[in-house]
Each structure stands twice: as structure tokens, then as C-alpha cells.
Structure 1
């Protein structure tokens, strides 16, 4: 069984519970609820590959007092190459808040839990922010990468000049060296 924490907090008059758990410790019904929340929050623009990218790591879930899922995010392990070093990173995926509950601090609750996981288990954190989510991350201390990015693909290094700069947490990396991400199907970042 994975590590679980519970924090009760009041947001907008509702009592919420934050829980963290590894994918393997989440029952199928809770995973289905998370996927449904992501579909709702991203207005149907959350693919099966996007969902797959968020599995296999630690999830942060916020429920209301009735048990309804209000917010979700996960952090999964990935690798980057930077300046001749391979770094184990915590990559944040699948962050969403139920649309009717946005702008009430629940995204911050989720990110606080994920940042604690990153601080305790990884060299740094990385995420690719939507235009709507970027403000939350920057306000929490995430910083935009100033260098170039690429990926190590099946046929070698692939440059990603059209990708938006990822955001980094707890990083002190030299932007004169590119970040090379591990390969995955779908969106690389």
C-alpha cells in the first residue's frame, strides 16, 4: 500500500480532504472519477494518451465531504539529459479542478502535495502548463525554462523548437545547455 496523507481544509464553506496515493493504490472507481473530472475540466480535450501520461506515479486528490472528486493531479517519474547528466525528474500531469470549483484554492492544494513529492523524491519538477494553468504555477514559484528543449527519440535527438517552454520547480540548471526529455507517445512535453 502506498503513502497516503489526509489534510482537511475549508474552501468556500465546504470541507475538503486531500489525499495522496500511488496509481496502484487507487481503486478503479476513483481512477474513473479522475478521468471523468479531467474530461470535464478540459472540455473533452484530454486524450487517452494524456491520461496514460498521468498514471504510474503519485496522485493528489481533493474530495468534498460527500466523497465527490473536486481536483486531481499526478507526478510521474521521467528522465532528462542536461549538461551531460541524466536527471530523474518529477513530471506533473493531469492537473484539473472541477469547473464549478475553480479559483477557490483547490489547485493550490493539489500542487502543494505534488511539490512535496517532488522535493522528497526527485532532482527537480517539470510541467507543461496550459494557458489557463500557467498563472497558478508561476505564482507558486515555478519558473519558465529559458533554454531549448528536445527529446531523445527512436532515431536520436529531436529538436522541439515549437514547444512552449516547460516550467521547472526546484531547478538550478544552466539554460545554455538544452533539456533533452525521454521519449513517449503523444505529447512529449
Structure 2
């Protein structure tokens, strides 16, 4: 297993196409262009077995508002492991690399988890956000009830009130 971390700007076009193809397979075509775009502009963790890319994840900067304060957050995106290699430590390797970035550069980590992965993140110390979630949209503040049970945070230099409100910045596609 070879793990590489690199900023999007340092990845060549072939590697980005390879990562997008892997994620399309991992998510059975459920990774749309917005999801892919959300994973760009930050640090990627890439895991290879020989020449094959077998796992990917990225961390990008976002602003989340909590308790009247805009927090600098490392937001985890596009974590995926090739289906035939799951439960062999590849996801953990990706998250270890990304969590190092979060702990070294951000006040808090955050992510939106698929139901199938909540145990994985919880076992790594990520904590379920218990309060209400919101998005700061072009039309103003909007509740995102559908995301209330899927947002996880990793406190670094802040100790958030997990039962409070958490508001994300706006972006096209899934806001969380």
C-alpha cells in the first residue's frame, strides 16, 4: 500500500481522471459533477496497490457558523475504497492522512456521512452533530433537516456545543 497526499494543483490530469473514475465506481454512478467539484481545491489522500488507485479522499476548507462564530473547517469529501478491497485498512489509511491535515490546519473537521459509514467515522473519534443543521444560501438561511442525522465533526481547537445549530456555507449540489 502506497499513500500519497497532494493538493489538487499538484495532481496531473491523468490522476484526477483516475480518481474520478474510481469514485464513480465506488458510488455506483452516484457521484455527480457537483460532488466531484466539492472534492477539489484541497488536499487529496490517494492509496495505490501497485499501479492501481484503490482509495481516495480529500479535505477542503469550508466556513461553518456555530455559536455566532465562523469556524475554519477541514471538510472531508469523496472518501471511497474500491469495492473488492473494503475492510482491509485502505479507508483508515485515507482518513489517517486527512485527519493529520485537519488537526494541523483547521479549528475543526466536518463531514457528511452515508448511513453505511457512520460506525467507521464514530470509531475514529468523529462525533455526530446532535443539533439542527442549516445552510446560508443566496436566498438566506435555510434549514437542512435531511442532514440533521448525518453530519459529524472532529473538534481540534474548538469545543463545539454538539446540540447547538450548525450552518454551512453555500455551494451548488449537496450543501453538506
TM-score range, shorter chain: over 0.9
TM-superposed CA distance for 1:175, in Å, is: 3.4
Looking at structure 2, the residues matched to 188 and 56 of structure 1 have their Cα atoms a distance apart, in angstroms, of 16
What stretches of structure 2 of length at least 5 have no aligned partner?
Answer: none
Q: CA RMSD in A?
A: 1.0
Matched residue pairs, number? 173
Greater fraction helix: 2
Q: Deviations over 1:40-98 (max 9, x none)?
A: 01111110110000000000000012x21010000000001111111010000000001
Bigger Cα displacement from structure 2, 134-143 vs 179-188: 134-143
Residue 167 of structure 2 corresponds to residue 180 of structure 1: yes
TM-superposed CA distance for 1:131, in Å, is: 1.7
Q: Which residue of 2 aligns with 1:106?
A: 90
Looking at structure 1, the residues matched to 90 and 52 of structure 2 have their Cα atoms a distance apart, in angstroms, of 13
Q: What SS does the aligned partner of 1:116 have?
A: helix
Q: What SS does the aligned partner of 2:79 have?
A: strand
What stretches of structure 1 of length at least 5 have no aligned partner?
Answer: 1-15
State the 4+ residue runs in structure 1 displaced beyond 3 angstroms.
none
Q: Which residue of 2 aligns with 1:57?
A: 42
> Greater Rg, structure 1 or structure 2?
1
Q: What SS does the aligned partner of 1:24 have?
A: helix
